[in-house]
A and B are shown apart, each in its own frame.
Chain A
C-alpha cells in the first residue's frame, strides 16, 4: 500500500537556515546549527523526504547552495527535492549532481511555462515538483503569488492549478502563506481549489506546529503528503516523536527497521576517489 509521506522543508538563505513567518524570514542558524540540533544522520530516519529551498531574497549563489546541499545529502538516505529560483537546465543539473533527486519549480511556472516542459523532457516528469504559494485576498478568495510571495498572479487559483495539472510535473506542493510559520495548523480548504483533472500527488504545507496538525492533514484523502518548515518546533527528537505518534494513531507511514543500523557494521569509507 502506498504510504503517506511526512516531509521536512529547509529554507536556505545565503548560508543560513530560516524560519518563515508568513513569508518573512527569521534567521535560525547555519549548517552547523542544523547538524547539531537536528543531527540529520539520525533525524532523517524519521522523515520520508526533505525539501531544500533557496529562498534568498536578492541574488542567489547557486554554487554555495549546492555546497550546502552536498553536506546535507551526505548521510541522508531519503529523497531530496531542491529548488528556489530554478528555471533552466543548467541550474537543475547542478542541483541534481549535488544530491537532489527532484527539482522544485515555482515562479517559472507563471513566467515561462515552456521551461517547465523543457525540464521535464530532460529529467523526467517525476523529477519535477511544482510549488504553488497561496494566500487569501480581501474577498476571501485564494490567490497565487510567485516570486517569494511578492507577485500576485492575475488568474484565479483554480485556473492556475488547472493549467498546472496539464503540465508535465510530477507532484504539487501547495503552501499557505496565511498559515506559514504560524503553528495554527494546515489550511485544508486549499485542497478545494484542486482541479478534478489532477492526477499528480499533492503535498500540503503551511501552518504545521505539532504532530496533531500533521495528523489532520494526513487523514484527508485529497493529499498524499504534508510538509513542515518549522525549524524550531521540531528540534531534538521532535520529528521522531511526531512520526511515532502518527503511526500509533493509525496513519499509514513507511516503516524502517532502525535496528538494521547496528547490523550494517558501519565503517565509513575514508578513501580518496
Chain B
C-alpha cells in the first residue's frame, strides 16, 4: 500500500493486536519507540492500556510526546489514538491526581461515576452512535457495537469536531475526529469486523 504506519511503543498497551489488525488489512505497521520512526511515518497509532500518569511520564521522559506533537501539529500527519491513547491526547486526567495530557483533543478525562449502579470499569461491547459525516465510521450503520474497557472518559459537552458518542450513565465520547486527529475510546482492534472496517477507513484517509 505504500503507507508506513508507526505504532507508538511507550511501554504500555497491547501493540501486537493493533499490528495484527493492520497486517490483516494488508498494511505493514511498525512498532517503535524511536522519535525518528515517528517523524518518518505517514500516519501514527497511539494505543494504550493502563494508567494515565505513568503513561504521560513515559512519553515525556523519552521525548516521544514532543515527537508526536511535531508529527501531528507541525507536519500534519494523521494520528489515531486508541483507548488510553485517546485519553492521553486530551488536556488532562484526574486519574492519580491531575496530570496534563498531550492536548491534541480539547477535553479533560474523568472517571465514570458508579453512583447510579452501573459497573465500573465499563467493559464489553456497547453501541456507538456515529457522528454526522464521520470518516472513521464510513460504511457502517449509524449505531455500531465496539469493545470498551475503561474507567475514565471524555465528556462530549462543548466539544467541537465530529464526536461519536456512547451512552453509559450518560453520553461520553466514543470517538473523536477533527482535521488530522482521530481517536477512539473503544478498541477497534478488538471489535471484530466493525473495528477492522474502522481501521481500514483510517488507513484510507
Q: List chain A positions with a Cβ less than 8 A from chain B.
A: 1-5, 44-45, 48, 70, 73-80, 96-102, 121-127, 170-171, 199-201, 224-225, 253-258, 260-261, 263-269, 271, 273
Give 1 or 0 for each of B26-52: 1 = CB within 8 Å of chain A CB. Answer: 111110000000000000000001110
Residue contact A126 to B17, C-beta cutoff 8 Å: no
Residue contact B23 to A3, C-beta cutoff 8 Å: no
Which residue of the partner chain B has the closest CB to A99?
B16
B106-123 contacts to A, CB under 8 A, are: 114, 119-123
Which residue of the partner chain B has the closest CB to A75?
B24
Chain B residues within 8 Å of A48, by CB:
124-125, 147
Residue contact A70 to B16, C-beta cutoff 8 Å: yes
Interchain CA distance A98-B17 in the complex, whole Å: 9
Chain A residues within 8 Å of B150, by CB:
126
Residue contact A268 to B24, C-beta cutoff 8 Å: yes
Residue contact A77 to B127, C-beta cutoff 8 Å: no
* 11 cross-chain CB contacts under 8 A: A1-B126, A79-B187, A79-B190, A80-B17, A124-B51, A125-B151, A254-B124, A263-B139, A266-B26, A269-B27, A273-B30
Interchain CA distance A76-B14 in the complex, whole Å: 13
B153-201 contacts to A, CB under 8 A, are: 167-168, 187, 189-197, 200
* Interface presence of B130 (CB below 8 A): no
Q: Is the interface of B mostly helix, strand, loop or mixed?
A: mixed
Chain B residues within 8 Å of A225, by CB:
124
Whether A101 contacts B17 in the complex (CB less than 8 A), given A2-B124, A5-B125, A225-B124, comes out as yes
Which residue of the partner chain A has the closest CB to B139?
A263
* Interface presence of B70 (CB below 8 A): no
Chain A residues within 8 Å of B196, by CB:
77, 260-261, 264
Residue contact A99 to B14, C-beta cutoff 8 Å: yes
Chain B contact-residue range equals 35 or more
- Which 4 residue pairs of A and B lie closest in terms of their CB atoms, listed nearest first? A254-B125, A269-B23, A267-B26, A254-B145
Interchain CA distance A201-B190 in the complex, whole Å: 18
Residue contact A73 to B119, C-beta cutoff 8 Å: no
Most chain B CB atoms below 10 A, which of A44, A77, A78, A258: A77
Most chain A CB atoms below 10 A, which of B84, B167, B190: B190
Whether A73 contacts B16 in the complex (CB less than 8 A), given A2-B168, A256-B145, A266-B24, comes out as yes
Chain A residues within 8 Å of B49, by CB:
96, 101, 123-124, 126-127
Which residue of the partner chain B has the closest CB to A254?
B125
Partner of A98, one of B16, B24, B26, B114: B16
Which residue of the partner chain A has the closest CB to B84?
A124
Which residue of the partner chain B has the closest CB to A199?
B114
Whether A264 contacts B197 in the complex (CB less than 8 A), given A101-B14, A127-B49, A254-B145, comes out as yes
Residue contact B193 to A257, C-beta cutoff 8 Å: yes
Chain A residues within 8 Å of B24, by CB:
75, 77, 264, 266, 268-269
Chain B residues within 8 Å of A74, by CB:
20
Chain A residues within 8 Å of B30, by CB:
273
Whether A256 contacts B123 in the complex (CB less than 8 A), given A96-B49, A101-B14, A121-B51, comes out as no
Which residue of the partner chain A has the closest CB to B125?
A254
Interchain CA distance A97-B19 in the complex, whole Å: 12
Distance between A101 CB and nearest chain B CB, rounded to angstroms: 5
